[in-house]
């Protein structure tokens, strides 16, 4: 069971990281860019000539690692799944450099016995040399095995404000992207080493018939769909994205991204795996420059 006070005051400390254009390219390959190796737009993220950084790489920079597996959290980490991810970019991410990340747990919410718990972790990413704030992340995790913790700790926080539903009409744009069978194994090299995405036995213990794709990999695929269809692959136009994870994607599946234009600068987004008739991302909000 979650130890509320230990988790809320988790000693992350400042995390310094140096990353290179090799890391930038590896992240892009992990989310599927480069699947068409002669597409000039995709090559802007996977080839060093005129290289750009995918905006959602902010989700993996300065990561504290899979700290939920530390016994001091008290969490049933095998049953942890990604609930939502929200990123805001204040400046385009450099293709390489030195950053400092500051992580903290913003809230932990008890949904009740048998209903799980919700934890919100924030990470602010700064350029190490100038101190400039580059991006802010909010990671919302659903701990399926930890409902009822407040009966022991006596504490629980107000949960995060939910994302609004997508429009009740046909989407304006649809983009289909395929994931590789080995996508989870490639993506984990960008820092997500949760064995749920690599070890079949851990996946079975969590209730899945095989390892699942990282939620943040599907999140990156959503950014790819927006860059492709709405930004002409210009990463500087991408300002923020927030999305809810509603069902896992399995490596090798094709994902259909549905996009609604609410205005020139605001998009809504949902993603669907047609082969299983499953909505895998929902309630997405994207802001463009």
Res 220: pLDDT: 97
Q: Choose, from 192, 220, 243, 259, the residue flagged as catalytic.
A: 192
Q: Choose, from 197, 241, 243, 272, the residue flagged as catalytic.
A: 197
Res 153: pLDDT: 81
**What's the CATH number for 4-288?**
3.10.129.10
Tens of pLDDT along 75-131? 998 888 889 999 999 999 999 999 999 999 999 999 999 999 999 999 999 999 999
Domain boundaries defined on the chain:
4-288
Q: For residues 162 and 17, is the Cβ–Cβ distance under 8 A?
A: no
Model confidence, pTM: 0.91
pLDDT in tens, the chain (289 residues): 899 999 999 999 999 999 999 999 999 999 999 999 999 999 999 999 999 999 999 999 999 988 999 999 999 988 888 899 999 999 999 999 999 999 999 999 999 999 999 999 999 999 999 999 999 999 999 999 999 999 888 899 998 999 999 999 999 999 999 999 999 999 999 988 888 899 999 999 888 999 999 999 999 999 999 999 999 999 999 999 999 999 999 999 999 999 999 999 999 999 999 999 999 999 999 999 9
User: How many angstroms separate the first and last alpha carbons of the chain?
Assistant: 43
Res 65: pLDDT: 85
Res 246: pLDDT: 95
Q: Choose, from 30, 116, 191, 215, the residue flagged as catalytic.
A: 215
Q: Which of 79, 86, 87, 47 is nearest to 194 (CA)?
A: 79
Q: For residues 61 and 101, is the Cβ–Cβ distance under 8 A?
A: yes
Q: For residues 245 and 213, is the Cβ–Cβ distance under 8 A?
A: no
- Give catalytic status of residue 197 as yes or no: yes
Q: For residue 207, report the phi and psi dihedrals to the nearest 5 degrees.
A: 95, 15
CA angle in degrees (0–180, nearest 5) for 68-285-254: 75
- Give catalytic status of residue 191 as yes or no: no
Number of C-beta neighbours around residue 209 at 10 A: 9
Res 206: pLDDT: 83
Res 19: pLDDT: 97
Q: Choose, from 212, 241, 243, 259, the residue flagged as catalytic.
A: 212
Q: What is the rounded distance in angstroms from the CA atom of residue 84 to the CA atom of residue 141?
A: 7
Task: Give the side-chain half-sphere CA count within 13 A for 280.
Answer: 27
Q: What is the rounded distance in angstroms from the CA atom of residue 125 to the CA atom of residue 133?
A: 6
Q: What is the rounded distance in angstroms from the CA atom of residue 41 to the CA atom of residue 149?
A: 48
Res 151: pLDDT: 87
Q: What is the rounded distance in angstroms from the CA atom of residue 272 to the CA atom of residue 255?
A: 6
SS3 assignment, position 159: coil
């Amino acid at each position: 069971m979650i130890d509320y006070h230990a988790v809320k005051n988790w000693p992350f400390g400042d995390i310094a990281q140096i990353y290179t254009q090799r890391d930038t390219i590896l992240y892009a390959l992990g989310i599927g860019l480069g699947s068409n190796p002669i597409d000039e737009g995709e090559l802007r993220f996977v080839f060093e000539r005129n290289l750009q950084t995918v905006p959602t790489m902010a989700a993996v920079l300065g990561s504290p690692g899979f700290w939920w597996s530390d016994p001091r959290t008290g969490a049933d980490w095998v049953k942890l799944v990604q609930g939502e991810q929200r990123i805001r970019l204040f400046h385009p991410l450099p293709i390489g450099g030195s950053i400092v990340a500051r992580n903290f747990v913003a809230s932990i919410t008890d949904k009740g016995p048998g209903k799980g718990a919700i934890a919100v972790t924030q990470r602010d990413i700064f350029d190490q040399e100038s101190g400039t704030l580059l991006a802010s992340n909010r990671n919302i995790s659903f701990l399926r095995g930890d409902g009822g913790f407040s009966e022991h700790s006596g504490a629980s926080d107000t949960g995060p404000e939910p994302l609004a539903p997508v429009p009740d009409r046909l989407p304006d744009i649809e983009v289909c992207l395929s994931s590789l069978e080995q996508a989870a194994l490639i993506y984990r090299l960008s820092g997500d080493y949760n064995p749920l995405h690599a070890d079949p036995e851990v996946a079975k213990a969590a209730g899945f018939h095989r390892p699942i794709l990282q939620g943040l990999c599907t999140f990156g695929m959503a950014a790819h769909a927006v860059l492709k269809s709405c930004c002409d692959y210009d990463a500087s136009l991408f300002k923020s994205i927030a999305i809810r994870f509603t069902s896992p994607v399995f490596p090798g599946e094709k994902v259909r991204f549905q996009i609604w234009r609410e205005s020139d600068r605001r998009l809504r987004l949902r993603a669907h795996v047609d082969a299983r008739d499953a909505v895998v991302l929902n309630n997405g909000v994207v802001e463009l420059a």
